[in-house]
Amino acid sequence: MNVIEIGGLLLLIMMFLLAGGVWIAITLAIVGWIGMALFTSQPPMIWSKNLFSAFWDSNNSWELAALPMFIWMGEILFRTKLSEDMFEGLAPWLNRVPGRLMHTTILGCGIFGSVSGSSAATCATIAKVALPELKKRGYDEDLALGSLATAGTLGILIPPSITMVVYAVAADASIIRIFLAGFIPGFMLMALFSGYIAWWSIRHPDKVPPPGEDLSFKEKLRRSGNLIPCTLLIIFIVWVLVAGWATATECAAYGVLGSLAIAWNSKSLNWENFKGSLMGATRVSCMIMFILAGAAFLTKTMAFTGIPRELAEWVNGLGLSPLALISVLAVIYLILGTALDGISMIVLTAAVVMPMIQKAGFDLVWFGIFIVLLVEIAEVTPPVGFNLFVLQNMTGKDSNHIARAALPFFACLVICIGIITVFPATVTWFPDYVMGVAK
């Protein structure tokens, strides 16, 4: 068998195991073991050595230590009243904007996403606060559900982001540069979402409630005081990271301490939600690290079989232009997104895709944002759309119904991918500029 046939067989085995309900991490390790045993000349002792070393090396990483910290920071904010304070601070400024309070779903997800790093946590937190209020005031429920499902994905695009950390580790890329690269696409995506809401509201004025009570400028400022603690935390984390005063891991630790301090100061921190946040962060972190460990062993297997190198050469031999290559990869990731979560998509494909991308001359930082946007689409794509599950559990609405409501915002995600593909400087300019100034 040639390496392409071997890769296809291993892929079929992987899909069979996943369809059978085997854990993703175990599936990766099993496929790696089969590939090592059947398609390499390595003795059994080397198989075991590679398995143990892959599991150890993949998690024995100082950069990866940022992952559980960022997850814990999001859990703290999720389980205290800080998220509600953020919503209350945004609402008074949107009374006269087309769509009015509906924009709080976008702004709230953008702000909370920048400190949580988790799509599901962002979606759940803002939905818990925004949905009852919007429903009470007579806003269109489907528009609210669609905006929350997609805007919740801002949690993995606006840094710090758990998915970005995983990608940076998998691609051996700069975490700081990838964090910085997420800002402009993140703001651009927020503008697209809000633009659609404004356009929809102008077209359907009968479905938008009348303006609420006008508040004085002083009262607006007073209510916006709720935004100050979390805003300062965001600014602090990004500033010390960019200035080079702390690594991404140290920034994550500062974020946890800052979240605990803000929650304690607001008197919303107690032993129950502290313990819940710690256990929630532990469960999610262990799941992600287990997947990374299985993927690391599969990566070693693929290196021994030569599949990534041969596949890169094969794709190169097709004579595809860089744009055609990216288009093919986008389709593949969209298909994977119907069955896998975002982190699994990255770790499953990194060993094969990264050599192809580098050979085609793409910037790994740009490709990281490209992948994150595709992962965002996966979060709202049935049947395995995490944000769809979150909203289904919270509202009782069928996940397919929520997915249909999210279609216009889904189109905004596709438009954003198109923009960064045609104009890659929208991704690379800011990190290049900031790192250049920092030097």
> What pLDDT, in 10s, does the model give residues 297-348?
777 777 777 766 666 666 667 777 888 888 888 887 877 776 666 777 787 7
Q: What is the pLDDT of residue 7?
A: 72
Q: What is the pLDDT of residue 126?
A: 76
Stretch 80-90: mean pLDDT, rounded?
69
Helices 66-79 and 271-305 meet at what angle, rounded to 10? 150
**pTM reported for the whole predicted model:** 0.73
Instruction: Quote the mean pLDDT of the chain.
Output: 80
Residues across the chain? 439
More confident call, 22 vs 384? 22
Helices 342-360 and 364-379 meet at what angle, rounded to 10? 150
Single out the residue of 377, 405, 412 nearest to residue 196, CA to CA. 412
Q: What is the pLDDT of residue 44?
A: 67
**293 close to 32: Cβ distance less than 8 angstroms:** no
Q: Which SS3 state, helix, strand or coil, does residue 243 take?
A: coil
Q: What is the pLDDT of residue 419?
A: 94
CA distance 240 to 243: 5
Q: What is the pLDDT of residue 439?
A: 60
Which residue has tokens 């990566």? 299
Determine which of 154-168, 223-237, 246-260, 356-370 has the lowest per-residue pLDDT on average. Answer: 223-237
Determine which of 211-215, 405-409, 416-420 has the lowest per-residue pLDDT on average. Answer: 211-215
Separation in Å, CA 303 to CA 82, 96, 214 = 46, 58, 64
More confident call, 331 vs 408? 408
Rg (CA), the chain: 22
